[in-house]
A and B are shown apart, each in its own frame.
Chain A
Amino acid sequence: MIEYTKFILDNGLTVIHHQDTSTELCVLNLLYKVGSKNEEANKTGFAHLFEHLMFGGSVHIPSYDEPLQLAGGENNAFTSNDITNYYLSLPANNVETGFWLESDRMLGLAINPKSLRVQKGVVIEEFKERYLNQPYGDIWLKLLPLAYKKHPYKWPTIGKAIAHIKQAKQEDVNAFFKQNYAPNNCILVVGGNIDLDKTKALCNKWFLPIPAQPIQLHVLTKEPTQKKMRRKEVYADVPANLIVMAFHMDQRQSKNFYAMDLLSDIMGSGKGSILYQQLVKNKTLFSEIDAYITADAEPGLFIVEGRLLPHTTFEQAEEAIWLVLDQIKSKKMEEDDLKRAQHKNETSIRFGDINPLNRAMKLAYAEYLGDVELVNKEIDNYLSINTQEICIEAKKVFKKSNCSVLSYKKKNDESK
């Protein structure tokens, strides 16, 4: 049970306080409700580039990192399709430095041409390191525009292309800050060894004076229902062929989300899973195979991804996966299979909660989804799913007309 107190400052900042006296640390987590889905189609990768710029100095503080390190603190941030999340931890007796730093960069940035130029360079190297300089690194660059035609999930967080990052201008940066970075577009979690009175006092001192801003309303284009199967082939210098099958599924807050999440565990998590047992061990078609969900806030994807053994053709691979999917749709699932997935899930949720920073992030994300109490309901939400519900949902999702297949081929196989 994660205990917390939630309150909202007059400027619209949502604050969640979560005390844990078993640690000597304090943590601050700031979730800004802006992610790559809020970008314009011709300026992708911007939310993430912006995350980098948030470390380039703010109105009153020339460098973000150094004062934090001086206070014994550590920080990082990530950008997803939905949000940009900043977090820091520091010794509890120095927590005020965290409030000072975060409130100043919420107030305003001091981005100069050099920091913009350098961070563009850094992000371009990140693009290469994670997406181009890795075998199969560009899967998402290829898969997302196949699975999504209208919804902004069609580009990855890093952006569609390096060119978009190169084009970013100072005025874009300023506009983006104004539209998205304000107390009324943020959720602050204060966690660790700090009491509620101190949290309130520090919030009032540092955050309350920051005025609310008119926040740009993002109306996202809904992804139309997929009507027929989509296919794409790509060739790259990789050692083995790979197949990815993506299916549209229900949104994060629906009951079906939990059903499909459990099904992805039953199908593809670990050596006991159905896909591993049937297709890696028994039929020896794949060297690795996995099933997982993208778990975004809006309707996301159920993915089956497998690496083919050298003797396996794409036709065999795909047929074998469909066979497994058809079994799941038609046969009643073993109660024990579900129970195992639910128990494993409970363990992983509990282990995920062991450190205060993770708990803070979870609280912020649950609040973003619309219900902070979700942090304490998740285990029951998973336990409440029955085999019948999984089967019904699987029938809805695992349809050819709802499927996008990416065949990722070894370059020297181009002739075939």
Chain B
Amino acid sequence: MMSLNRVLQPNIEKIKSLNFKYFEHIELACGAPIYYLSGGTEPVIKFELVFDAGKAKELKPSVASFTASMMNEGTQKRSGKTLIDDLDYWGAHFQVKTFNDDAVATLYCLEKYLDGALPLFIEALTESVFPEKELAVLKRNAVERLKINNKKNEYICRTSFNELIYGIKHPLGKKNTVENVLNIDRNELFSFYNDNYSSGFKYAILTGKFSQETLNKTQNVLNGSALKYKAKKSAITEITVQEFGKHRVEAPNKSQASLKIGKIAPERNNHLFTDFQVLNLVFGGFFGSRLMKKIREDLGLTYGIHSYYEAGKILNIWSIEAEVNNKNKELAVSEIHKELEKIINDAIPSKEIEVARNYLCGAILKSLDNPLSMSSRMKTHIDYDLDSNYMKRYIDEIYSVNAVSLTEVAAKYLSNEQLIEVIVS
């Protein structure tokens, strides 16, 4: 028997195939598309309706998220409690989640109970009545949650950063206050609901493992419902960032310091986007990143430090976040700046690029390992008009990223210029 070589890594290959299928779609009578994909191993259903009802559209803080929460609280036919009990009976639940750019209502259930659950879900979205009494409970509880958040360094750090980058007047920048929550008015919410939910949804996504018959039935139920189609995209307000530089905020808790350092990043559709993704990985985007190696593995100053890219219709933001040892926070910050300078000035070694891009390809495969997570890929495709060959091109682009292009992108997007730095300590 040949002796086993434990020193040498077994041969590795590029990823050979990507099991991403661009979803099929059918159209409802109202004209709205339902994108669908059936696959995986479990007989589950995830059904999403996407509304143009994001946080960016609210005039006062919390209006978008409160409107979303109120859809659980009762309809013309059912009290909130009855609605939940009836859904529970089918082992189903739904939530309406508010994001910056849109809001997504999602129903989760087993295929065998979709017949029972789907009409309840639609009823909640189309016949919501926003009872005052339930709103009072939500407000009371939201005030308590906000008080807790205001004791968290990390929460203060993020909201302060948003205030600086979006501006204090922008819906995505405005900080929430207890007073704001107390002043939320039922009629304000109901008109947000009428304008942004009752007026129609943009598209639907159905995933999980289901039969053609289930698809047909879903189509019929939706056709017979009061749901409308809203094709028109809302206008986007441009904003200009002015509050660059360093900001120090007093922390409620002194055991660690919370920091967020970031700036505006390239758009999702920018031709440098793929380079930027790989660059972010090398810098702080995964466990093997430079920031993790330096601040965690070498200096032991944090449990975790990461850099992120967040795509948005209003701003695309790149930022670094960490909770660090309070005593050594200045050391952590100065090491971060050193790493920023280094990545701009020195060519990235090819081994480091290879690790990052292989890791990224593997992570993409992982994000496609079940139909439910594929639906979030599909949503990105729809929101950013990516065509059915995009994923293949993206993988090819990742494999062709090189040190020269990365250095250019680093100089362009990771420079000190217009950097916002918030430290809560």
Contact = CB atoms under 8 A, between A and B. Distances in A.
Q: Do A and B bind each other?
A: yes
Interface of A: 20, 22-25, 59-61, 65-67, 69-74, 89-91, 93-94, 96-97, 99-100, 103-104, 107, 117-122, 125-126, 128-130, 132-136, 205-206, 209, 237-240, 270-272, 277, 280-281, 284, 287-288, 307, 309, 336, 339-347, 350-351, 353-357
A280 B142 CA distance: 12
B9 interface: yes
Contact of A272 (B88, B145, B373): B88
Given A65-B287, A355-B369, A346 B110 contact: yes
Nearest to A120: B300
**Interface pairs A-B: 4 shortest CB-CB:** A121-B300, A72-B362, A343-B91, A239-B147
A305 B148 CA distance: 16
B245 interface: no
Interface string B57-101: 000000000000000100000001100110011111100000000
Interface string B164-198: 00000000000000000000000000000000000
A24 B10 contact: no
Contact of A72 (B80, B109, B361, B369): B361
Given A69-B356, A355-B373, 12 more contacts: A61-B6, A74-B362, A94-B10, A104-B6, A125-B300, A125-B301, A238-B148, A280-B141, A287-B144, A347-B108, A350-B44, A353-B42
B404 interface: no
B4 interface: yes
B286 A69 contact: yes
Contacts of A129: 256, 303, 323
A127 to B, nearest CB: 9
B308 interface: no
Contacts of A134: 152, 253
Contact of B44 (A60, A339, A351): A351
Given A272-B81, A347-B109, A350-B44, A125 B323 contact: yes
A93 B13 contact: yes
Contacts of B221: none
B363 A74 contact: yes
A70 B148 contact: no
A72 B361 CA distance: 6
A242 to B, nearest CB: 10
B408 to A, nearest CB: 24
Contacts of B44: 347, 350-351, 354
A204 B147 CA distance: 57
B207 to A, nearest CB: 10
Contacts of B345: none
A273 B361 CA distance: 43
A122 B296 contact: yes
B13 A70 contact: no
Interface residues of B, number: 80
Contacts, number: 229
20 contacts: A65-B288, A70-B9, A100-B10, A118-B300, A121-B300, A125-B256, A128-B256, A133-B255, A134-B152, A134-B253, A135-B151, A136-B148, A238-B151, A239-B148, A270-B84, A280-B141, A343-B88, A353-B42, A354-B41, A357-B369
A206 B302 CA distance: 35
Given A133-B255, A133-B256, A72 B303 contact: no
A124 to B, nearest CB: 8
B312 interface: no
Given A133-B255, A239-B144, A72 B81 contact: no
A181 to B, nearest CB: 16
Contacts of B15: 24, 72, 91, 93
Contacts of A350: 42-44, 110
Nearest to B143: A287
A280 B41 contact: no
A184 to B, nearest CB: 20
B372 interface: yes
A205 B5 CA distance: 10
Given A239-B148, A339-B89, A23 B137 contact: no
A77 to B, nearest CB: 12
B413 interface: no
Nearest to A131: B255
A20 B41 CA distance: 8
Nearest to A349: B42
B288 A69 contact: yes
Given A25-B369, A132-B255, A277-B81, A353 B10 contact: no
B374 to A, nearest CB: 11
B258 to A, nearest CB: 8
